[in-house]
Amino acid sequence: MKTAMESQRAIDAGAAGEPAGEAAALEGVSFRFRIGAHPALENIHFRQRVGEMVGIMGAAGTGKSSLARCLNAIIPGFEYGQFKGRVTVLGRAVDGARVCEMAPAVGMVFQDFEAQLFSTNVAHEVAFAMEQVGLPPAEIRRRLGPALEAVGLAGFQDRDPTSLSGGEKQRLAIASVLAVEPAVIAFDEPTTDLDPEGRAEVFDLIRRLRGRGLSLLIIEHETEEMRQCDRILILRDGRIAAEGPPHRILADTRLMNQCGIRPPGINLVLAELGIDAYAASVDEAEALIRRSLGLPADFKVEAAQTAGIRSAAFQPPSSPQAPPLVEIDHLTHVYGGQVRALDEVSLRIDAGEFVAIIGQNGSGKTTLAKHIVGLLKPSAGRVLLGGRERAAMQPAQAAAMVGYVFQNPDHQIFAGTVGDEVAFGPRNFGLDAGEIQRRCDRVLKAVGLESMRGQDPFLLGRGERQRLAVASVLALQPRLLILDEPTTGLDYPQQRRMMDLIADLNRAGTAIVIITHTPWLVAEYARRAVLMRKGRKLFDGAVRDLFAQEELLASAAFRVPEVTALSRRFGMVALTAAELAGALRGAG
Amino acid sequence: MPIYLYLDRRTFIHRLHPTVKILTIIGIFWSVYWVDNPVSLLPLGLLLLAGAQLTRAWPNFYSLRWLFILVIFATTVTWIIFYRQGKPLLHLGPLFVSRASLEYGLGRGIKLAELLATSVLFLSTTKVEEFAFGLAEMGVPYRVGFAITLAFRLVPLFIDSALTVVQAQSLRGYDFNRGGLITRVRRYVPVTVPVFMGALRKANNMAMALEARGFGYSARPTSYVHYEMRPFDFAMLLGVALLGAAYFLIYYTGYGAIAPR
């Protein structure tokens, strides 16, 4: 039986004769999944130096995960298909290795943190991989403490992993990988399912790991976090579309848009102002703008220039006399007689509004939404829909008032065809065939799936499944649509498409409530924001007014988009790059 | 929604060697098996009560109280009705109750409750990893032991997912409780399909993550925790052996049986 140390030695021995200091390399790698019309990877040539941090970006399905999975033989060892080319890790050919044999050399942290924790306590979890690769117990005990300390979980040894927060779970997964001391650690969208606080925790940790000289490969959608990379690779259709240092790649906003990546907000502002330079932080962007536009250090945008923006962005409800769509009156919810998830929350939502509910995980956002749709019963207080008690309404009446789209579309999709999936709700409420047909036609057109009516929903992509979930709730024609994290797991073009769809629905008269962690979505789409913390409502008002309150947001671990942070340096609260650039151009 | 019953305490039962714990439950199950008479089951019941007190496992028994009540009640009543031996105390049409049927029914109820209580005590005092370690020590292949530990992790995830699916479909106006038994079972298709698909996806992710952590690298991985057999473990084994022998003797001498009177 080989131990991890022997494997490591074998890897080291194999390194002889290879270019010094190379952590991993792919030479002419192509891969096509067994079921897949297009190649996932096509003729990839990629080298990573020891200690280098490489970021991989691109739209969904462009081969990012596939590239990383070649390093530890998941491709082609676990996911079968046609494979061509050569992969080496520390100079040793991966060729023919089993996935488990690569564990001592390549660690991988996955997006789904629930699916990569296997033990009932933290110490066992960290020990797991070390036990698998045959490290002696004394060595495992020696590495356990430092690994937990490195991820900030010292003292958590005896905790049950299921009791940890999302960020802690992901840090635990990282500790488990770190403890094996692999040559390369790949992070496959490690923060997609986390709230802003969890994201910050994980990226702080990645920054520290980088400081320790580890070779890191990061797959990530959020461009702001990729600035710390030494090099960024952009993939498109399984090929490397661009490669270079962040200051070159991230400054090219056109390239990023073409490749389905959201450019960093501050770089967009610079591009809009015609400033051909790269800023890696809000400070740098501010200095560049002042210098380029010749603005003095104490320059502030005139109030007159922002007044127009302010009034255009938030209109109070048009008819305060009409009964509100939703009225929540001193609502309290206590889970299991102990956890106070909502504490005397009052809220009114009127027809046609677009509200974002924000706050950390566990702040009560989803509990609040579940009360509106009647999935929970209040411990105290009441919920009214259209002036009537929610509890006294028939399911059909309530469904016509408010619809709820769950975060994961796969929690509701079951039918054999897209058409049947959409017709499911209307059929349950006993509508006649003609009416069901009309509704299906209309909502499938609204979400852009009309040509896929006869398709099997399970063969659709994630973005399409998300739109199908929206369509099947829309078919009940609710006056208010609540969407829980509607953009999780979607790439930038899919996020845009989903949010544009929601904005269209809103313009057509449906009131919208979205629960989200994504600052730029709130800034660009919502008009009103409700900030929750520990079951209480901290703020309720215009998004712009909320984004002006830095301390309040910080207390709820919510960060404004960088564009907003930058705009405040110039004495205004802008929500989009265009808005800020417009105001500055006028001033300049 | 956790299904683990493990209570993190430092009692001597918690500290028993995992293999000894597994042999102890086998010993108790063996003892329960041989006797039917409620009186002869009583000493074992008292022993289990003492175990619950010593391990301070009452919270688990409290949260499972309805299960215990249901098991004892349903089993007792069922067996009272179906055990048609001895002189009837009451005979009304198909209903037949005798002293023997009362004893037998009560004995069956206690038996099941004791088996359940033993399992609760075992899970209250044994981590899933210890269970796997104990099984491995007894020669059970590592993969089998690991599959058991994984089941403990997966079941709550699937229950959570099923609850969410039920909520999602009920908001689309779906009524699960319509029709007869067969119709109702069929009406669960809108739940079973998403849960099953989700489970497949989760299982695939988990298998990938497991292999990426080195699962399968060695048929017999190392274990960072090691449990030594201590004098107390041997004493416990001796106690369990004596208990098993005593109950076999009760059976053998006929004291454990129900005498149809």
Number of domains in chain A: 3
Show residues of chain B in contact with A484, CB under 8 Å.
none
pLDDT at position A557 is 84
Average pLDDT, integer, range A68-74: 95
Band (pLDDT 50/70/90 cuts) for residue A16 is very low
HEC per residue, A112-177: CHHHHCCCCCHHHHHHHHHHHCCCCHHHHHHHHHHHHHHCCCCCCCCCCHHHCCHHHHHHHHHHHH
Evaluate whether residue A305 is within a structural domain: no
Return all residues near A326 (Cβ < 8 A) that are at least 6 apart.
Answer: A347, A348, A349, A372, A383, A384, A385, A402, A480
Show residues of chain B in contact with A101, CB under 8 Å.
217
Same structural domain, A21 and A53: yes
pLDDT at position A11 is 41
**Which residue has better confidence, B66 or B5?**
B66
Percent of chain A with pLDDT over 70: 93
Same structural domain, A256 and A162: yes
Average pLDDT, integer, range A20-47: 91
Nearest by CB: A137 against B127, B189, B226: B226
Least confident of A362-376, A475-489, B90-104: B90-104
Query: B217–A134: do the CB atoms touch at under 8 Å?
Result: yes
Percent of chain A with pLDDT over 90: 64
Q: What is the ipTM of this complex?
A: 0.84
Question: Given CB atoms, is B62 within the 8 Å cutoff of chain A?
Answer: no
Beta bridge partners of A54: A217, A231
Band (pLDDT 50/70/90 cuts) for residue A8 is very low
Query: A119–B149: do the CB atoms touch at under 8 Å?
Result: yes
Average pLDDT, integer, range A173-181: 93
Evaluate whether residue A398 is within a structural domain: no
Band (pLDDT 50/70/90 cuts) for residue A349 is very high
CATH for A484:
3.40.50.300
Same structural domain, A434 and A547: no
C-alpha separations of B238 from A321, B26, B46, B111, B235 in Å:
81, 13, 19, 23, 5
Distance CA A487, CA A496 (A): 9
Distance CA B27, CA B197 (A): 41
Evaluate whether residue A573 is within a structural domain: no
Evaluate whether residue A127 is within a structural domain: yes
pLDDT at position A1 is 37
Band (pLDDT 50/70/90 cuts) for residue A127 is very high
Show residues of chain A in contact with B2, CB under 8 Å.
160, 162
Nearest by CB: A428 against B156, B167, B173: B173
pLDDT at position A304 is 54
Same structural domain, A489 and A534: yes
Same structural domain, A336 and A191: no
C-alpha separations of B120 from B52, B65, B144 in Å:
9, 11, 21
Question: Given CB atoms, is B104 within the 8 Å cutoff of chain A?
Answer: no
Same structural domain, A380 and A515: yes
Evaluate whether residue A217 is within a structural domain: yes
Question: Given CB atoms, is A416 within the 8 Å cutoff of chain B?
Answer: no
pLDDT (tens digit per residue) in A247-287? 999 999 999 999 999 999 999 999 999 999 999 999 999 99
Least confident of A294-298, A313-317, A578-582, B201-205: A313-317
- On average, the pLDDT of chain A sits at 88
Same structural domain, A193 and A242: yes
- List helix spans (H) across A454-529: 462-474, 492-507, 519-525
In this predicted structure, the answer to whether residue A574 has a pLDDT above a threshold of 70 is yes
C-alpha separations of A83 from A28, A32, A80, A163, A279 in Å:
10, 7, 8, 41, 40
Query: A396–B214: do the CB atoms touch at under 8 Å?
Result: no
In this predicted structure, the answer to whether residue B79 has a pLDDT above a threshold of 90 is no
Average pLDDT, integer, range A521-549: 94
Query: A118–B161: do the CB atoms touch at under 8 Å?
Result: no
The domain boundary residue, chosen from A243, A263, A283: A263
In this predicted structure, the answer to whether residue A476 has a pLDDT above a threshold of 60 is yes
Evaluate whether residue A220 is within a structural domain: yes
pLDDT (tens digit per residue) in A313-327? 445 455 556 789 999
pLDDT (tens digit per residue) in B28-65? 999 999 999 999 999 999 999 999 999 999 999 998 99
Query: B164–A115: do the CB atoms touch at under 8 Å?
Result: no
Band (pLDDT 50/70/90 cuts) for residue B93 is confident
Same structural domain, A204 and A257: yes
Q: Which residue of A has its CA nearest to B192?
A: A414
Residue A275 in contact with residue A570, Cβ under 8 Å? no
Distance from the Cα of B148 to chain A's closest Cα (Å) equals 11
Same structural domain, A516 and A425: no
H or E segment and range at residue A46:
strand A41-49
In this predicted structure, the answer to whether residue B82 has a pLDDT above a threshold of 90 is no
In three-state secondary structure terms, A533 is: strand
Show residues of chain A in contact with B164, CB under 8 Å.
406, 408, 411
pLDDT at position A217 is 96
Same structural domain, A485 and A546: yes
pLDDT at position A315 is 52
Same structural domain, A427 and A439: yes
Question: Given CB atoms, is B178 within the 8 Å cutoff of chain A?
Answer: no
Show residues of chain A in contact with B220, CB under 8 Å.
1
Question: Given CB atoms, is A414 within the 8 Å cutoff of chain B?
Answer: yes
Show residues of chain A in contact with B210, CB under 8 Å.
118
pLDDT at position A320 is 59
Average pLDDT, integer, range A342-366: 93
The domain boundary residue, chosen from A429, A460, A476: A476
Nearest by CB: A411 against B149, B168, B189: B168
Does residue B18 have a cis peptide bond before it, meaning omega lies within 30 degrees of 0?
A: no
The domain boundary residue, chosen from A219, A245, A263: A263
Distance CA A109, CA A132 (A): 17
Evaluate whether residue A425 is within a structural domain: yes
Same structural domain, A160 and A196: yes
In this predicted structure, the answer to whether residue A13 has a pLDDT above a threshold of 70 is no
Evaluate whether residue A400 is within a structural domain: no
Residue A467 domain boundaries: 414-476
